[in-house]
Structure 1
């Protein structure tokens, strides 16, 4: 047989095998599983299909709770999501095995007590991360389940905003010190709107307290925001009691230095943890020429040595009302490098009835008004410069509405205690026209006799303003209010110190009452409004 014939014969032999291989590959390709495209997303949360011991069991004595779901699940921050009421002395262990959730209880359970395990969003499915948000397991170590409830709301006592994530805790013991030394008998968490409900309570009388438990120890610590109900809370089958709690952060009892900074020029800046009335600083070295300034809004004391550098470290004792707080070391060198004196100065639009305020980061010891120039629409004016304190000066210039001003501050206009001076600063300003403003006549009626009040009108997202002090019904007139939204509030100044005070649980003082005008005030340009607020007592 020739070579061509042999090749044809070999082809006939291998062709069936080759065709079989091609067919298998084609079938395998057709049988490949592919993820279907389109279609609605899975929004159904995982559902329990078996619970051991059964939910709502009585005479419970198991150490393990098993919850099996209809699909694979995963844990999500479970130890923060799991809320157990009453709280356990030891945190239970939570594990997953296939489609089942295992909760292992450690420590002893109380007798004749109903326990509630709320899992929050701690259990989710694998496919779409849907939470089993209504998952709750309840049991009783006694013969029956408690079925009563307490509901209410927790708000910030100053802003009236809802408090989220506060623990609302109930105690069967009535001593004032109990929240500081014992965990609660029951507790619940506030939701996004500040509301809460504590279910499965027994019938009885309780003390109610809410706090932001920063260290998660279920105890009231002295620095934690707290709210409490003055009256005893009663639970009964007839009704679900509603309580309203106003939370505040207590002012620290002890004054201490929160932070401080210094440099080798003999300058010291001390930040306190709270407000103080009579701070003082003094070098332990006799004969030191010194100065100081306390900024109450910043709770900050500034201290500096006025003598030339002595090339040594000074020990500075910090006092409040004569009592020693701390001692700080302060370097004081003879030679200090020259630096530029920085000045914060406004630019752009401004009010015509306010001076231009300058802020310095160092104490000012010299002002040369001849190096401060001001023009109005290119016409030269003579500005007046007043120093308000070592760190603040204002420029007055008889500003008129709807005019352009240029203020130029030349080098040497201001000199600090270190001998530092400013660079040239130029500010272009334009005063608002009169029709930019709106006017308001605001009457307050129904104020309680013999009570001091503070009235605040705060522009949206603006700083807290200086309050008006009121003792009786009155009408306040605001002839030039800038357009925008305003929040109006009235504070019942019970102690007469002309500022709002938070509560003090240890002394039994609730935070001072704050009531808000029912609506946000909308001021418009060139509008005049007359409003009346019938307060009729703060509640």
Structure 2
């Protein structure tokens, strides 16, 4: 075969090979239709049936997506004995248990049944039947709100649980008898409920256990028994975390020349009583740890009366006998943190937090510098101790004249400026910068009225990272204001301080007490952001209180 014929022969082979090559055919339009239920056994709305298994037939091949969590069955049955299977176009549910007499059952498949091709979920897929002669048809509905909305809320994780009054279980120890999940807007409805008396709860089911974790999950409850003999609307839940673990002392004992008390949680309030407290004895508290200090070695045990109160109102009173003996343990170094980076106008408040009580300050090496040559010495009259029993928080207050035009102001303290109770000095110099603002660059004010709630109020101005910028306490009226603000975007949060203790109190289900309400300024578009610029005054920024936990439509 000559070369010319060989080239023709190879070309023909390549053409034939190309024509014979397999390829994926071009498909038609994407399947966006969800699976449709065409038959079920038992049939929907059937009465006087007690199936051992349930079968659903669809118009296309399907599969199941996390059915154990996604399929909600009410009233409560033992889900450990339920088996879910998908086979071609069928879903089979094996119950393996006896259903209750005269009871309406609801199998809500939510988004657990999806088609094979595009994973479109079946819509509004629910099977209702009764083991008795009638279908229970009562319902309750309402809204979910989270008190502290620091991030976007996934309402779909929120479970509303209904427990018969005769049932001794609750949201912490057993799955509810009836339940549903809130929709993406925080609305919910529980249907097909039997006439009776119930208790209602709502919680953020993060771990998917269908039970609440009081240490890590937000929850709320209706504090009255709910008689369901008609359809009930307007139920309001306001969810927040509330750790019910009682506060207690885990252990106590000497720590070097000091004495340490370890708690299981931080107290909301702490009272320590001893005649020498603030003179001979001092204390610090941080990270569930109380440390007692003595100026001198003590040969006898010293009694201290402790009163601990946690955030939910649990109280623990103890008499501690502390020992302050000599020790070979080397004292800890002095450490401190300063509120550097703070902006101010005219009045500058500096805070220095130490790890131990400070007993002496050398003001000769403590000053504020505003340029290479200009300094303001810190006098003793500028300094205050936040708590004389602790002496671990030093505040320095000074007013800077307008003649100081420099923007950056620096606090400086040489080494050995601060001496603690153990005779230790700060080993390194301290330098902290502050930014002096100009009046013409500040916004004049934000003001408004708090409606739908009663004082006293804690009014908080937060930045976009939910960091506290300013706070005020209103005791007797409903008007709030913040003046001379740095331009920016803010959030205004209101805490309705019902008991007047100047802090937010969570719920206590054991005392049947709901959490204090927390709500925010929102604009006409429902957004929390409030923008203010230099020279602006924003008036009539009214804030509407949220509904209280309970039934709003009675």
CA distance in 2 between partners of 1:98 and 1:281 (Å): 74
> In structure 2, what is the equivalent of residue 54 of structure 1?
43
**Cα deviation digits, residues 244-283 of structure 1 (max 9, x gap):** 223344463721258999965747474553534344499x
Unaligned runs of 5+ in 2: 2-8, 275-279, 309-315, 549-554
Residues 35-46 of structure 1: pairs in structure 2 closer than 5 A: 35-36=24-25, 41-46=30-35
CA distance in 1 between partners of 2:163 and 2:21 (Å): 63
Change (3 A) 1:264 1:166: same
CA distance in 2 between partners of 1:306 and 1:377 (Å): 40
SS at match of 1:435: helix
**2:301 counterpart of 1:303:** no
SS at match of 2:101: coil
Q: Return the match for 2:284 from 293, 316, 332.
A: 293
- 8 Å CA contact 1:257, 1:271 repeated in 2: yes
> In structure 2, what is the equivalent of residue 5 of structure 1?
none
CA distance in 1 between partners of 2:185 and 2:349 (Å): 43
- 8 Å CA contact 1:279, 1:294 repeated in 2: no
SS at match of 1:370: helix
Answer 1 or 2: higher relative contact order, Cα 8 Å, separation at least 6: 2
- 8 Å CA contact 1:116, 1:138 repeated in 2: yes
Change (3 A) 1:154 1:329: farther
Residues 164-313 of structure 1: pairs in structure 2 closer than 5 A: 164-173=156-165, 184-202=176-194, 206-212=198-204, 225-228=219-222, 230=224, 232-236=226-230, 241-250=233-242, 252=244, 254-256=246-248, 266=258, 268=260, 270=262, 273=265, 275-280=267-272, 290-294=281-285, 301-304=290-293, 306-307=295-296
> In structure 2, what is the equivalent of residue 381 of structure 1?
376
SS at match of 2:416: coil
CA distance in 1 between partners of 2:337 and 2:497 (Å): 37
CA distance in 1 between partners of 2:98 and 2:319 (Å): 46
Task: Give the superposition deviation at 1:417.
Answer: 3.9
> In structure 2, what is the equivalent of residue 437 of structure 1?
442
**2:431 counterpart of 1:422:** no
TM-score of the superposition, structure 1-length normalised? 0.76
> In structure 1, what is the equivalent of residue 90 of structure 2?
100
CA distance in 2 between partners of 1:261 and 1:354 (Å): 41
CA distance in 2 between partners of 1:71 and 1:329 (Å): 77
**2:452 counterpart of 1:457:** no
- 8 Å CA contact 1:154, 1:245 repeated in 2: yes
**Cα deviation digits, residues 514-533 of structure 1 (max 9, x gap):** 45445344332222233374
Task: Give the superposition deviation at 1:432.
Answer: 0.9
**2:335 counterpart of 1:355:** no
Unaligned runs of 5+ in 1: 1-7, 9-18, 283-288
TM-score of the superposition, structure 2-length normalised? 0.74
Q: Return the match for 1:500 from 499, 504, 507.
A: 504
- 8 Å CA contact 1:373, 1:383 repeated in 2: yes
**2:139 counterpart of 1:149:** yes
> In structure 1, what is the equivalent of residue 126 of structure 2?
136
Task: Give the superposition deviation at 1:65.
Answer: 1.7
Change (3 A) 1:102 1:273: same
Q: Return the match for 2:535 from 515, 526, 538.
A: 526
RMSD: 4.6
> In structure 2, what is the equivalent of residue 15 of structure 1?
none
- 8 Å CA contact 1:169, 1:188 repeated in 2: yes
- 8 Å CA contact 1:87, 1:185 repeated in 2: yes
Bigger Cα Rg: 1
Change (3 A) 1:34 1:150: farther
Change (3 A) 1:534 1:454: closer
CA distance in 1 between partners of 2:452 and 2:236 (Å): 23
Task: Give the superposition deviation at 1:329.
Answer: 11
Q: Return the match for 2:74 from 78, 81, 85.
A: 85
SS at match of 1:245: strand
CA distance in 2 between partners of 1:437 and 1:465 (Å): 15
